[in-house]
Amino acid sequence: MLNFNIDFTGEFFAFFLLSVCAIVGAVLAINFAKVVHMALSLAFTFVSLAGLFILLQAEFVAFVQVLLYVGAVTILMIFGIMMTKHQDEEKARSRPLLETLAAIGCLCLFGILFYAIRAASFPLPAAKLPDNNTLEIGKLLYSAYAIPFELVSVLLTVAFIGAVALAKREEEKP
């Protein structure tokens, strides 16, 4: 059933290296005791995913990934960790029953997904992606996807105003 007829091209080698980096980062993030270490190893995973995006000819998405996830989201999370209790460590195996059940559930989910991926047949792509994809993405964003683009900008503005309004310390009532 498992016929790994893999051709060892350069792309596969790079994919293998980057995916091992991504999985190791994610697994370490689950296993570290200190929360800051968890955040940093997830940043490592995000960087490896950016490498995978470059491998998939999505250079613009890769740069957005580095800017947004590694540069903004992880730093925001580290700020959040520093502004709350950052000394405390995850107590090892505090809820063994729940953790075992969660692990079994995740393994079942992965089994179903893996079986579905193995069973599906993927036809070969019919065309190639355009070369300068930043230009093409820009053209698409301002023609076919103009309305979703504007909606997303409104969503971002509302979310950030909401975040500031939430986190602002309230005035003492006289």
Binding residues for another protein restricted to 116-135, rule: CB under 8 A: 117-118, 120, 122-123, 125-130, 133
Cβ neighbours, 10 Å, residue 40: 16
Q: The tokens of 2 are what?
A: 């498992």
Binders of another protein among residues 67 to 96 (CB under 8 A) are: 68-69, 72-74, 76-77, 79-81, 83-85, 88, 90-91, 94-95
Check: CB of residue 45 under 8 Å from CB of residue 25.
Answer: yes
Give the nearest distance from C-beta 128 to another protein in angstroms.
Answer: 6
Minimum distance from residue 171 beta carbon to another protein (Å): 14
Residue of 17, 132, 142, 162 that binds another protein (CB under 8 A): 162
Applying CB under 8 A, among 13, 17, 102, 142 the residue interacting with another protein is 102
| Total residues interacting with another protein, rule: CB under 8 A | 88
Q: Which is nearer to another protein, 125 or 174 (CB)?
A: 125
Token pair in block for residue 168: 């602002």
Kindly state whether residue 173 participates in binding another protein, applying the rule CB under 8 A.
no
Query: Beta-strand (E) ranges in 87-139?
Result: none
CB 137 within 8 A of CB 60: yes
All residues at 6 or more sequence positions from 63 whose CB lies less than 8 Å from its CB, including other chains:
50
In 3-state terms, what secondary structure has residue 89?
strand
Judged by DSSP in three states, 85 sits in: coil
Binding string to another protein for residues 132 to 151, with x set by CB under 8 A, is what? Answer: -x--xx--xx---x--x---
